[in-house]
Amino acid sequence: MPVHPVSMRTLLINYVYYNPVGHVVEALKFSKGLHEANPDIEIHVALNRYSPTQLTEACPWIAKTYPFDIHEFLTKGPDAACLKRIPRTWDYIMTNTLVLHDLAKIKTPGRDEKAMGNYVRVSGTLFRASSGTGTFFPKIVFPAGLHYRIDAKVELQIPQHAIRFARRLEHDGPTICLLLGGSGPYRVSPTISTWIKIIRALNDSFPNLRIYLTGVRKSKKGYTATSGYTDSRIDKILTAFRNVVDCYDIGLWNQLAIMEQSAVFLSPHTGFGFLAPCVNTPWLTISGGNWPEYFFNHVPFYSVMPDNPDFPYLGNLTARDENGRPRRIPDMQPHKLEKKIPEIIEAAHLLMTDSFTYEAALKRHRLNIQRANVRRDKVHLRPFF
């Protein structure tokens, strides 16, 4: 069984949750805040193995990562090999218990929920923390003696091979890295026709603009993909614009390197977008779905708010037509979203301006929320973790 060095106190960040990229980045953010406030503690992280666990390789403050196979655990329980790789004794343990909160609301839990829920329950008895335990979600509770720095900046160290890859696509002019949508259904992101109108407006406003169109066409080994944007939909953009470069399926590190050398990252709300500020690239977000933007990282940003008093839905989004079939969510319907194109262009200009600092972005964000027709009390005005 693995043992720890005796020279440092140890902390296990037990963050085995859903596999989208954003949840890994949440764990990285928490780990950095804990590291900066407790530099004498060695930090280890347990993650869903079907998430991009390799991101921890870009975080020198993380000593070791334990990819946890939730499906193996569902069948083998405490005898799962992935569980045996995690030391049982720690000084501190911090656990993401949000899955237990999820299970309380789900009538028929799926395989992933059952596996994660069982693991969180069992880990509470299998692992021992001599100095205390705490939780991240749904409530952040730190044990006595463990400190935390809110909004500690995460800066990912991109491998040199990826930096060399991105340099081959460098451009002498303004650049935007564009992600059409996240791993959610196609109906929660802009339509291709709307994206084409947005890109045309960007081209009109930024002479000599280059756009790097990125994403993942098909899930591999259980990882998430850019859902709903089929080859034919992607090709409509690639064939419509000569200045759009196909950066689909180039690998995560290469995506990060392209993102890093871009002036702006543009997308709807998606966990992948959390990576942009982690490589010091401003994130221009088209808001409008279940969740507001809440990942702040000392990098300028801009959230284009919808005109919708029900936003954010906080996991309760049920957009359906008169026959009960899923339909495009209200804020991504073309007739609504396309009214926001002038603001998207204004935001891109702001984010490419050196004077639009992180502090200026926070101030503008608060102003935009005050003006917006949204659930203001549910939209984050400032960093909270």
Residues 72 and 16 grouped into a single domain: yes
- The pLDDT score that the predictor gives to residue 6 is 53
Residues 44 and 165 grouped into a single domain: no
Residues 190 and 334 grouped into a single domain: yes
Q: Give, for all 385 residues of the chain, the pLDDT tens digit.
A: 555 545 689 999 999 999 999 999 999 999 999 999 999 999 999 999 999 999 999 999 999 999 999 999 999 998 999 999 999 999 999 999 999 998 988 889 999 999 999 999 999 999 999 999 999 988 899 999 999 999 999 999 999 999 999 999 999 999 999 999 998 888 889 999 999 999 999 999 999 999 999 999 987 777 888 888 999 999 999 999 999 999 999 999 999 999 999 999 999 999 999 999 999 999 999 999 889 999 999 999 999 999 999 999 888 877 676 666 777 888 999 999 999 999 999 999 999 999 999 999 999 999 999 999 999 999 999 999 9
Task: Give the span between the Cα atoms of 266 and 351, in whole angstroms.
Answer: 11
Residues 91 and 231 grouped into a single domain: no
Of 101, 135, 169, the domain-final residue = 135
- Identify the helix (H) or strand (E) that includes residue 156: none
Which CATH number covers residue 174? Answer: 3.40.50.2000
Compute the chain's Rg from CA coordinates. Answer: 21
Residues 196 and 94 grouped into a single domain: no
Q: Is residue 281 part of a domain?
A: yes
Task: Give the span between the Cα atoms of 39 and 41, in whole angstroms.
Answer: 6
Given a contact cutoff of 8 angstroms between Cβ atoms, the answer to whether 348 and 177 are in contact is: no
Site of tokens 């390197």? 257
Task: Give the span between the Cα atoms of 280 and 59, in whole angstroms.
Answer: 15
Residues 124 and 183 grouped into a single domain: no
Q: Is residue 52 part of a domain?
A: yes
From residue 107, give the alpha-carbon distance in Å to each of 36, 97, 113, 320, 343. Answer: 40, 18, 11, 20, 40
- The pLDDT score that the predictor gives to residue 253 is 98
Q: Is residue 129 part of a domain?
A: yes
Q: Is residue 117 part of a domain?
A: yes
Of 135, 152, 178, the domain-final residue = 135
Residues 201 and 109 grouped into a single domain: no
Residues 333 and 219 grouped into a single domain: yes
Looking at the structure of the chain, the number of domains it has is 2
Residues 6+ apart with CB under 8 A from 67: 47, 48, 49, 53, 82
Residues 327 and 273 grouped into a single domain: yes
Residues 97 and 218 grouped into a single domain: no
- The pLDDT score that the predictor gives to residue 177 is 98
Q: What is the DSSP letter of 154?
A: P
Residues 255 and 372 grouped into a single domain: yes
Tokens representing 356 are 């639009």
Site of tokens 């963050």? 15
Of 135, 170, 193, the domain-final residue = 135
Which CATH number covers residue 123? Answer: 3.40.50
Tokens representing 60 are 């020198």
To 10 degrees, the CA torsion angle through 365, 370, 374, 377?
Answer: 90
178 lies in which domain range? 160-378
Residues 245 and 345 grouped into a single domain: yes
Q: Is residue 230 part of a domain?
A: yes
Within a 10 A sphere around the Cβ of 378, how many other Cβ atoms? 13
Which is it for strands 283-286 and 264-268: parallel, antiparallel or unpaired?
parallel
